[in-house]
Amino acid sequence: FTRPQEGRSMDEPSDGASTAGAAHQTWERPPDLSALNLYGWSWSSERSVDANLLDLAYLVARNSTCKDGHMGCVLARGVPNGRGGETAAALARDPVNSVAGAAGTVCPPCPPGAPQAAADGAEASPAPPLCPSVVLCATNAPLFGAHRSDCHAEALAVSECARRGIGTAGLSIYVTRTPCGPCYKLLAAAGVARIVAPNERMASADCAASAARLGIEYIWLPDSPQRAAEREALGSANEDYERVRALREERKRLRKERSYGRKSCARTAASEEAAAAQPEGGGGGSGGGVGAAAGEGRGGESGCGAVGV
């Protein structure tokens, strides 16, 4: 799976910065999705396209540090409705399903048995068939305070496509929990054609009825003990344990400060305004700033996906 060499993950401190301060510096903006750890994921020739890419979404979820649950999603191109249960090699041999030259595509290594595109300088067929392609991966992420689930993974993925100028019409999305109502609306408006999740039902009857009217395919793909065990082995073998230890220490500190998972954006702004208004050399009391209520996380994010830290 090809990724840019530059860019930092959401929790990686800049040069010379402490890990404890890194979250404060980075939670105010979306994470760098090009720096997500994919934990050694690769295509399995024995599994369907849908199973392969949902497994990738579970592994991507390990990058999340949100208090209310770790979510992952994958946007993919080249999986027609009704054919996600086939292997990638079978789809790749279908010229009708060719995704050659699709803008914004980040193609992982082709699965065993899939025909390869011609090498540079070699004569290629007019439309060489390629395997289904990953467009991008995303997790849920904070925006108003460290370790909060303010931006759901699906919303962040669609927003990132808009930022990069990547078309979303006809894409499939693989998500570790069925999209909530607002995220479903966003996916439907973006033209996503397929939603694959481990939940039997969509978030509401309205979502299910809308999907049926729009021709959006919803696939219920339950997890299996074998797939879960294989993902856990990949996660353990490819985990950044220094990052895990640093995040655990940070969580302890934030809990002690009673700020873990709470909104910090307005409180930080109020503190900065108070500091700016303070006369030079004045001692002044610490004013409370803007209070943040506990439990701001969205309950729908809890208990979903594989968790890494």
Listed by start position, the domains of the chain span 19-246
For position 113, what pLDDT does the model report? 43
Give the closest residue to 160 by CA, choosing from 265, 301, 34: 34
Instruction: Show pLDDT as tens, one digit a residue, over the chain (309 residues).
Output: 333 323 333 333 333 333 444 444 455 677 788 889 999 999 898 899 999 999 999 999 999 888 888 999 999 999 999 999 888 777 766 654 433 333 344 444 444 444 333 333 444 333 333 468 899 999 998 888 777 877 899 999 999 999 999 999 999 999 999 999 999 999 999 999 999 999 999 999 999 999 999 999 999 999 999 999 999 999 999 999 998 898 888 888 877 877 666 676 655 545 555 556 666 554 433 333 323 333 333 344 443 444 445
b/e code 18-42 from CB counts within 10 Å (16+ = b): ebeebbbebbeebbebbbbbbbebe
- What CATH number has the domain spanning 19-246? 3.40.140.10
For position 6, what pLDDT does the model report? 33
| Residues composing the chain | 309
175: β partners: 73
Tokens standing for residue 269:
């702004």
Please classify residue 286 by burial: count the beta carbons closer than 10 Å to its beta carbon, then call 0-12 exposed, 13-18 middle and 19+ buried.
exposed
For position 69, what pLDDT does the model report? 86
Return phi, psi of residue 208, to 5°.
-65, -45
Residue type, 139: T
Question: Cα separation of 194 and 171, whole Å?
Answer: 7
> The whole model's pTM is what?
0.70
Radius of gyration of the chain (CA): 21
Task: Report the C-alpha dihedral over residues 287, 288, 289, 295, rounded to 10 degrees.
Answer: 170
Tokens standing for residue 270:
């109020």
